């Protein structure tokens, strides 16, 4: 699968792959991917790697399940990319997510690995033409293109390119 040509700024919103329930005494933050989640992470990582998408930066929640998902993607990319981990993506609101994206004024492509409901809310806020509601699957990646770079304060005017999931490995508009 190949993505359409990129505009000025491309944002990929990746919800972490499936995780198991917390073990007795384990914090939500420390939940790891389960076997299905590791498979999902590998599938979506390979799809992204084969698509030609190579983000200049990855922003990732510090939660274990997000780190494991991002690391799978990192291994599959053609060009190495550093992952910037942020506690704010675990604890923060949609405003935190939006502000972190808006601050990325020096890159033309960004992958954000985070949590629902913020990922889904952000998709619908940034790309009002996004696919109908119906949930945001684990290891799902929504691609949004913008005609201009983030301003440092705002990121607006996104166009929904499509969604890729482990179960639907082609771009679904």
- Which long-range contacts does 37-43 make (Cβ < 8 Å, 24+ apart)? 37/65, 37/68, 37/69, 37/138, 37/139, 38/68, 38/72, 39/166, 40/138, 40/139, 40/166, 41/17, 41/68, 41/69, 41/72, 41/73, 41/139, 42/72, 42/76, 43/139, 43/166, 43/169
Residue 4 — very low, low, confident or very high, per pLDDT cuts 50/70/90?
Answer: confident
Residue 67 lies in a domain: yes
Residue 132 pLDDT exceeds 80: no
Task: Identify which has the larger pLDDT, 113 or 169.
Answer: 113
Question: What CATH number did the domain enclosing 116 receive?
Answer: 3.40.50.1240
Residue 23 lies in a domain: no
Q: What is the DSSP letter of 151?
A: -
Domain range for 53 is 9-17+29-164
Tally of domains in the chain? 1
Residue 172 lies in a domain: no
Residue 24 lies in a domain: no
Residue 133 pLDDT exceeds 70: no
The Cα–Cα gap between 108 and 149 comes to 7
Residue 169 lies in a domain: no
Task: Identify which has the larger pLDDT, 134 or 116.
Answer: 116
Residue 171 lies in a domain: no
Residue 150 lies in a domain: yes
Per residue in 72-99, pLDDT tens? Answer: 999 999 888 989 999 999 999 999 999 9
Residue 133 lies in a domain: yes
């Amino acid at each position: 699968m190949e993505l359409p040509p990129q505009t000025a700024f491309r944002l990929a919103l990746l919800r972490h792959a499936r995780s198991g329930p917390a073990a007795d005494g384990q914090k939500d933050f420390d939940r790891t991917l389960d076997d299905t989640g590791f498979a999902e992470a590998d599938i979506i990582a390979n799809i992204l790697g084969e698509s030609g998408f190579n983000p200049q930066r990855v922003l990732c929640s510090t939660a274990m399940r997000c780190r494991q998902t991002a690391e799978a993607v990192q291994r599959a990319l053609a060009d190495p990319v550093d992952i910037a981990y942020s506690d704010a993506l675990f604890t923060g609101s949609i405003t935190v997510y939006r502000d972190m994206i808006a601050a990325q004024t020096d890159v033309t492509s960004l992958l954000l690995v985070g949590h629902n409901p913020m990922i889904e809310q952000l998709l619908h806020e940034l790309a009002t033409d996004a696919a109908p509601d119906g949930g945001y699957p684990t290891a799902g990646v929504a691609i949004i293109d913008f005609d201009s770079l983030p301003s440092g304060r705002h990121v607006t005017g996104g166009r929904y390119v499509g969604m890729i999931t482990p179960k639907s490995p082609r771009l679904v508009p």
